[in-house]
Structure 1
Amino acid sequence: MSGREGGKKKPLKAPKKQCKDMDEDDLAFKQKQKEEQKAMEALKAKASGKGPLGTGGIKKSGKK
């Protein structure tokens, strides 16, 4: 009776994926995604700290 019988077995390693050749459509799509991501990051940096959304939460009035 060995110590490994009751435990979890290791999963088999998956074979490495072969890198496929990218055609012009794939390259254009990836380039477009990178540009959109940069634009989103720029908008996030510009919008951070401004407006009522920066405070968050519900404001409580002094009335009871």
Structure 2
Amino acid sequence: MSGRDGGKKKPLKQPKKQTKEMDEEDMAFKQKQKEEQKQLEAMKAKAAGKGPLASGGIKKSGKK
């Protein structure tokens, strides 16, 4: 072990990812995901306008 070997080793370079061409299935899948995301956002906005679903916290009984 010489003094030059100490310290953190650099990781090997990873090969660059190849850009693959999208076929029709990939395009349809991405389009479907976008539509689902839009519907989810619309539902979130609609739900945000209303008050809380539960009427708040611990319910007390009438007994004392």
Say yes or no: TM over 0.5: yes
Q: In terms of Rg, which structure is larger? A: 2
Q: TM-score, normalised by structure 1?
A: 0.63
Q: Which residue of 2 aligns with 1:44?
A: 44
Query: Is the alpha carbon distance of 1:49 and 1:10 closer, same or farther for their aligned partners in structure 2, counting shifts above 3 Å?
Result: farther
SS of 1:30's equivalent in the other structure is helix
Q: Give the length in aligned residue pairs.
A: 61
Q: TM-score, normalised by structure 2?
A: 0.63
Identity in percent: 70
- After the TM superposition, which segments of 4 or more aligned residues of structure 1 sit over 6 Å from their partners? none
Q: Which residue of 2 aligns with 1:22?
A: 22
Q: Which residue of 1 aligns with 2:58?
A: 59
> Superposition RMSD on alpha carbons, in Å?
3.1
Amino acid paired to 2:29 = F
